[in-house]
Structure 1
Amino acid sequence: MVEKLISISLKNRAIVLLLAAALFAYGVYSIQKNPIDAIPDLSENQVIVFTEWMGRSPQVIEDQVTYPLVSNLQGIPKIKNVRGTSMFGMSFVYIIFEDDVDIYWARTRVLERLNYAQRLLPQGVTPSLGPDGTGVGHIFWYHIDAPKMDLGEQRALQDWYVKLALQTVPGVAEVASFGGFEKQYQIIVDPVKLQYYNITLMDVMNKIKANNNDVGGRKFEMSNMAYIIRGLGYIKNLEDIENTAISNNNGIPVRVKDIGSVQMGGDLRLGIFDMDGKGEVVGGIVVMRYGENADKVITGVKEKMKEVQKGLPEGVLFKTSYDRSTLIKAAIESVKGTLIEEMITVSIVVFIFLFHWRSALIILIQLPISVAAGFIFLEMFGISSNIMSLTGIALAIGVVVDDGIVMVENAYRHISHAQELKK
Structure 2
Amino acid sequence: MKFDSVLHQPHAILAATLVVLLMGVLGYVKMPTNLFPDVNRPSVSVVTKWPGAAATDVAREITHPIEVRMSAIDGVRRVTSTSRDGVSVVQVEFEYGKPIETAANAVTTELSRVRGLLPEGIREPLIFKITDAARPVMVLAVTPAPQSGLDLGDVRRLAENPLRDALLNLPGVAEAEVFGGDHRQVQVSLRSRERFWDIRVPKIDSIFDNSLVPRPSWSPGVPPQHRKLVAATHRPPI
TM-score by length of 2: 0.61
Q: In structure 2, what is the Cα distance between the partners aligned to 1:90 and 1:82?
A: 17
Counterparts of 1:8 and 1:112 in 2: how far apart (Å)? 67
Q: Distance in 2 between matches of 1:82 and 1:263?
A: 37
Structure 2 residue matching 1:66: 3-state secondary structure = helix
- Deviations for 1:204-243, whole angstroms, at most 9, x for unmatched residues? 333345xxxxxxxxxxxxxxxxxxxxxxxxxxxxxxxxxx
Structure 2, unmatched stretches of 5+, are 189-199, 213-233
Q: Residue in 2 aligned with 1:175?
A: 176
Which is richer in helix? 1
What SS does the corresponding residue of 2:177 show, helix, strand or coil? strand
Matches within 5 A, 1:385-404: none
Query: Which has the larger strand fraction?
Result: 1
| Cα distance change, pair 127–153 in 1 and its aligned pair in 2 (3 A) | closer
1:25 has 2:25 as partner: yes
- Alignment partner for residue 156 of structure 1, among 161, 167, 177? 161
Q: Deviations over 1:66-120 (max 9, x none)?
A: 1111122222222223223322222121222221111101111111111110111
Could you tell me how far apart the structure 2 residues matched to 1:8 and 1:34 are? 42
Report the CA distance shift for 1:159/1:93 in structure 2 as closer, same or farther (over 3 A): same
Flag the 1:130–1:116 CA change in 2: closer, same or farther, 3 A. Answer: closer
- Whether 1:49 and 2:35 are equivalent positions in the alignment is no
- AA matched with 1:18: L
The 8 Å contact of residues 144 and 154 in structure 1, kept in 2 or not, is answered as no
Residue 76 of structure 2 corresponds to which residue in structure 1?
79
Q: Which residue of 2 aligns with 1:359?
A: none
Q: 1:122: Cα distance to partner? A: 0.5
Find out whether 1:202 has 2:205 as its counterpart. Answer: yes
Deviates most, 113-122 or 86-95: 86-95
Q: Which secondary structure state, in structure 1, belongs to the residue aligned with residue 115 of structure 2?
A: helix
SS in 2 for 1:132: strand
Q: How does 1:242-391 map to 2 (within 5 A)?
A: 264=236
**What is the DSSP-based 3-state SS (H/G/I as helix, E as strand, rest coil) of the residue aligned with 1:175?**
coil
Superposition RMSD on alpha carbons, in Å? Answer: 4.4
Gap change, CA 1:160 and 1:47, over 3 Å in 2: same
CA 1:263–1:117: 2 relative to 1, 3 Å: closer
> What displacement does 1:49 show?
1.0
Overall identity of the aligned pairs, in %? 20
Task: State the distance in 2 between where 1:120 and 1:84 align.
Answer: 18
Deviations 1:283-310 (A, max 9, x none): xxxxxxxxxxxxxxxxxxxxxxxxxxxx
TM-score, normalised by the number of residues in structure 1: 0.38
C-alpha distance in structure 2 between counterparts of 1:50 and 1:139, whole Å: 18
SS at match of 2:93: strand
2:64 is aligned to 67
| Number of the residue aligned with 1:316 | none
Shift of 1:181: 7.5
Task: Indicate if the aligned counterparts of 2:44 and 2:130 stay in contact, CA closer than 8 A.
Answer: no
SS at 1:177's partner residue? coil
- Distance change (3 Å), C-alpha of 1:163 and 1:9: farther
Distance 2:63 2:119 in 1: 12
Q: How many pairs were matched up?
A: 198
